[in-house]
Amino acid sequence: MPYYTYCTYFYTDSISMPFVILSIYLFICGYDSKKILNKIILFFFSGISCAIGFELKGSVIIALIAVIVYMIYKGGIKKILLGSGTIIAGFLVIAIAFNGLVSSLQITDEETLYREQYPLTHWVMMGLKDDGNFDQADSTFTYRAGNYDEKKAANIQEIGNRISNYGVFGLINHFIIKANFTWSDGTYWISHHIYNPYNGRNLLYEFFLMDGNWFPIFKSISSGMQLCMLIMICVSLFSCVKKPRFDYITLMHIITFGVYLFFLIWETRSRYIFNFTPIFIIIWADGIINILNKLKKPPTLRDKLTKQAEVV
């Protein structure tokens, strides 16, 4: 459902999606390739794809970290050095070129940047309030704190205050609320961005707009599909733990866990995980396959003899 609704909303969460899955696909092709030159080329372009996605949406860096972790666990010092080095090289080429281009355009000067730029600590601080969603009061707090260093110091102090106020169990409860807020919404926050600029209304408006008569149906279908996906992800994960394997499904689980962990710490909303949905769908399919395999009846002696007879 979100793949249709997000066609109407152009934003970094959707436009960065192809680069996430393309980066993983190129990595897998490179890792499976027998030729060193092919490996280098595919790994290099995997890093490039990841870098483009990262410049659009910072969370895409999780994919880069995940493939490096995957290679370390798979072992082989030569493979680790070749793979990690080539992917990082491709990533850095784009990152350095992009930052150089931005600097050459002289969009702003260093003094203005130092005065206006928000430190990364701002989004960590915001993620510690209520359900971790964007908060205008927090944004105003950071803006009024002063220059970059003063903003950072104010954020760190407020982060310490909030963690202290929560306590251990309060912080755990906050993370539960935050995780539920991030992962339970099958619409991926799209209903907050679709609006009707016209006077007339039709069936689609009534279905997708938050004030539409049929919106609860859209919400229920989307959230129901999301719940099914999460259940199948857990089934797939259980299968990986029960019978340890380290294949590409495990890589998908590493990425998913990285996304989960990142948005427990960072400012969050369901829209922010939309660009990773191709990864989630692959694990979803693996969960379904695991269940279907369990439902298969073991072959009887008659089945085995029949199969052998067919071969003969």
Q: What is the pLDDT of residue 246?
A: 80
Q: Quick one: pLDDT at residue 310?
A: 64
Q: Could you list the mean pLDDT of each consecutive 10-residue stretch along the chain, which spans 312 residues?
A: 85 92 96 92 96 95 94 86 93 93 85 92 96 94 95 96 95 95 93 73 81 89 94 93 85 96 95 95 94 79 65 60
CA dist., res. 102 & res. 79, Å (int): 34
Radius of gyration of the chain (CA): 23
User: What pLDDT does residue 309 have?
Assistant: 63
- The whole-number pLDDT of residue 281 equals 95
Please report the pLDDT score of residue 164 as a whole number.
Answer: 95
CB atoms near residue 30 (< 10 Å): 23
Q: For residues 66 and 87, give the distance between their C-alpha atoms in angstroms, rounded to a whole number.
A: 12
